[in-house]
Structure 1
Amino acid sequence: MSSIHSGGAAVRQVDPESREEGFAFTASGSEYFRIWIVNLFLSVVTLGIYTAWAKVRRNQYFYANTRLAGGGFEYHAKPLTILKGRIVMMVLFGAYALAGKVSPMLGLGILLVIWAVMPWLLWKSLQFALYNSSYRGIRFSFKGSAKEAYLYFLVLPLLGVLTLGLLYPFAHQRLKRFQHTSSHFGTMPFSFDARVGSFYKAYLGLFAVWVAAGVTTTIVLTSIVEMPALGMLMWVPMILYPFFICSALVFATLLQNLIWNHTQLGGHAFRSTMRGKEVIWIYLTNALGIICTLGLFIPFATVRLMKYRLESTSLVVNGSLDDIVAGERMHVSPLGDGAADLADFDLAL
């Protein structure tokens, strides 16, 4: 498979012997609703303890309903391992909350500790997530080092802040390259070839749109109505808020396509064809459904969004996927070494 570049973006030319295998997602909102409502009830009555089991049940259902070329995915994590990671996170953030009430300096010290260990926690979470995922019986793995995690999760984002965002697109590109090139399917590595310039183009496009919208709205309001400056400052954000949300969704969609259209697995390429207007429609209707049902539409909304994202992604296979899987299965046995100490540090907490 070869590619040419046009305007900084890679345009892939598919090998005549290659074929495109799309992801299929067969989950249904009604099926997931039954899992979701039980998970919610048991999580509440156990004061959150059951959330580890809830996560396993949810992921097992979603993985089992994700198909690629007739093969299925599996999720192997154990609830107790997840619970241990969540307890660690709760202790860290609980200590920060209590320390802040006792002494601001003590609270700052705990916050610095959390800040210092966060890259390590993210690194362990990536290891955990990939090791406990498999396709056709072959597990994924994450080979990146803790040293690299501190560079890409801490140092570069900090430089992005210190440069007032100027280095953030660079940091983002390096982070995605680290995540993808450190990931493996069996012994087969993923690769990532998106250029830094493509990330800057996406970020600058979003920034330019937001600035232009803000300036235009301010000018229009000033020309058609007379109001004090304070009133103007209140109305402009209110009018622009829906626009900012929609443009952010389009931006996220462009990044999703950019990242996966430049990701390969060995000699095989991914293809993402998400469209901004469709993503906006899904988010808008999902939000309305959740509001009108007082939250009961959440599982249906989750399935709708996941189905669109997965079925907008495909793998361009060069050769036989069966041969790839068979070849990886011969070399996969050492991947379990040292995995017993993995834990899932759920940073959503």
Structure 2
Amino acid sequence: MNNSGVRSAVRVIRLDEFVPKQAVMLPERAVDELEPEWSSLPSLAWPEPIGSARPRTPVLPDPVEDDGLDPVLEEGAPTVPTSTAFETSAAASSAPGKMPRLPNGVVTSWPLRFQGEPLGYARLWLRNLLLILLTAGLYLPWARVRSQRYLMRHTKVAGHVLDYHEPPGNLLPRYALSAALMLGVTGAWAGGSTLAGMLALSLALAVWPLLVFMSLTHRMAHLSWAHRRLAFDGTCQQVYRAMWAPLFGGGAVAWLLMAAVIVRSPGNWVAWGAALGLWVLAMPAFVWTWYVFRQRHLRLGPLHLLWKASKPAVMMMFLRTLVWAMLATVFSLGVAAVVLAGVLVMRGKLNLTIERGLLLASALAVCAAVQPYAQARLQNLVWNKSGNRYLRFRSKLSVADFVMLQSKHALLLVLTLGLYWPWAVIATRRMRAQSLTIWSRVDADVLKAHWPTYEAPATGKMAGSPANL
């Protein structure tokens, strides 16, 4: 128990992960400077706190109300890595559109902690793999749910673990639709008909947003923190509007490529090259549009997030990834050339198998270096610009360390014929999770008090409790 001077007005409970420090005043000037950036999210009407006469039912934001948002934290703002439970009076919390904040500009930081162990996950992974093989893939939804539950239940935020509640049977329609599309496209192309293959590919692109909508909705609805469900409240039509441009552009590029291959006219190749170039140049705008939509429709109880990254920031991420891909390609081809020279010196000749093997190894090396680079850059960009007036996310994932880790994993996976996979998953999860921190202007207990727990309709028991898992 903290013996501070405000003990008579505030009851403080220290969580096991946090070290209490002296409260820091948030500079008034910084608050004024940050107001314009985070002022476009609709205001929230919060319910009465626990113990009041009114029922604890969240009130969703009215989209036609004025903003009136307070700023959220920016880089360099003072933080206090503590978590405290403040008793707020009903009068203070009954103000419409306001949630009780920590006093005196205090900011708490909630670091993510991943506590999974490689051996425990390896046993689960091996069991899932054997059952998938024995059932010819039918056990895949159950394996997916078990893996996600293990990873979530070993991730802790502000003293509470995450959890995953989705019944495996709910995954069957999505998995069946994905398998049908994949088999349909593959079968159409294998049948020798180019037109049938292109039609099947176009159908798959048209159905893809539906799969994305189903995945986001089901995953977020069954993900919880402290027995409180998260949600994705976007509609299927909104997902189609957010994704139609890149999918339509990709389909147009594919059809132009088919026309160029069949007709073999220089004009067709020029048209295909121009369409491909425009599609690639527009990709940063596509990515920006998608993340603005996705982050804005992620809901933490009655709280909505907001993504404030700019299009130039996304463009810079793509340019850096492109430069890194070029450097990785040059390095891989240089290593392959050295190996070829060594083979020529030792054997005096080359065959097609060696050349193809070296080219494949070079391509895999480039992927092993470029994919983690893009993942680290994207994670930092997405979460450093996500938040609202109460919460803000911070990601400090080291790009160099993450690329080195994934390169080591790729090498060990090749050497162990894939048996190193559980250790790679745990190490990757730990680095990505523990690079994230949540900055908050409200206490964790206050947030929980205004975020009702989920209760199963039939039994009335909490869906996150062990009896319902």
Name the structure 2 match of 1:139.
229
User: Residue in 2 aligned with 1:200?
Assistant: 315
Cα deviation, residue 236, structure 1: 10
* Distance (Å, rounded) in 2 between the aligned partners of 1:237 and 1:43: 29
1:317 corresponding residue in structure 2? 440
Among 73, 82, 99, the alignment partner of 2:162 is 73
Contact map agreement 2:148 2:164 (CA 8 A) in 1: yes
Query: What is aligned with 1:116?
Result: 206
Partners of 1:156 and 1:85 lie apart in 2 by 22
Residue 48 of structure 1 aligns to a residue in which SS? coil
Alpha-carbon distance change, 182 to 26 in structure 1, aligned in 2, over 3 angstroms? same
C-alpha displacement at 1:108, in angstroms?
A: 3.0
Aligned with 2:320: secondary structure?
A: helix
Alignment partner, residue 429 of structure 2: 306
Identity %: 22
Of 181-190 and 204-213, deviating more is 204-213
Between 1 and 2, higher relative CO (CA 8 Å, sep ≥ 6) is seen in 1
- 1:114 Cα deviation (Å)? 1.6
Letter in 2 for 1:201: M
Contact 2:113–2:433 under 8 Å retained in 1: yes
Contact 2:304 / 2:388 at 8 angstroms: preserved in 1? Answer: yes
Residue of structure 1 in register with 2:295 after alignment: 180
> 1:190 touches 1:266 (CA, 8 Å); kept in 2?
no
Deviates more, 1:151-160 or 1:84-93: 151-160
Matched residue, 2:467: none
Deviation at 1:102, TM superposition (A): 7.1
Asked if structure 1 preserves the Cα contact closer than 8 Å seen for 2:328 and 2:369, the reply is: no
Structure 1 position 11, deviation (Å): 3.4
Which of 406, 409, 427 is equivalent to 1:283? 406
**Shift in Å, 1:35:** 0.3
The answer to which of 200-209 and 274-283 deviates more is 200-209
267-276 or 248-257, larger mean C-alpha shift: 248-257
User: How many residues are aligned here?
Assistant: 319
- 2:279 aligned with 1:170: no
Seen in structure 2, the aligned counterparts of structure 1 residues 94 and 216 have a Cα distance that, compared at 3 Å, is closer
Query: Does the 8 A contact of 1:71 with 1:135 survive in 2?
Result: yes
Residue aligning to 1:344: none
Deviations 1:221-269 (A, max 9, x none): 9xxx9xxxxxxxx999987975675355334312211111001155210
AA aligned to 1:123 is F
Larger Rg: 2
Q: Secondary structure at the match of 1:41?
A: helix
CA distance in 2, matches of 1:240, 1:110: 28
Superposition deviation, residue 96 in structure 1:
3.1
Whole-Å separation in 2 of the counterparts to 1:239 and 1:293? 19
Q: Flag the 1:273–1:109 CA change in 2: closer, same or farther, 3 A.
A: same
Contact 1:268 1:315 in 2 (8 A): yes
The aligned counterpart of 2:238 is 148
Deviation at 1:112, TM superposition (A): 2.1
Letter in 1 for 2:155: T
Deviates more, 1:207-216 or 1:76-85: 207-216
**More strand per residue: 1 or 2?**
1
TM-score normalized with structure 2 length: 0.61
Q: Provide closer, same or farther for how the CA distance between residues 88 and 26 of structure 1 changes in structure 2, counting only shifts above 3 A.
A: same
SS of residue in 1 equivalent to 2:75: strand
Is 1:295 aligned to 2:410, yes or no?
Answer: no
Match of 1:253 in 2: 376
Q: Which residue of 2 aligns with 1:230?
A: none
Letter in 2 for 1:64: R
Check conservation: 1:189, 1:266, Cα contact below 8 A: no
Q: What is the CA deviation profile of residues 80-111 of structure 1, one whole-angstrom value per residue up to 9, with x for unaligned ones?
A: 11123212222232233334417443333332
In structure 2, the gaps of 5 or more residues are 1-25, 36-73, 80-104, 254-274, 342-355, 458-469
Name whichever structure is richer in helix by fraction: 1
- The 3-state SS of whatever aligns with 1:319 is coil
Could you say what secondary structure the match of 1:11 adopts? coil
Q: CA RMSD of the aligned region, Å?
A: 3.3
Q: CA 1:38/1:333 → structure 2, altered by over 3 Å: closer, same or farther?
A: closer
Question: 2:187 — aligned with what?
Answer: 98
Instruction: Check whether the contact 1:141–1:184 (CA below 8 A) recurs between aligned residues.
Output: yes
SS of 1:296's partner is coil
2:186 corresponds to 1:63: no
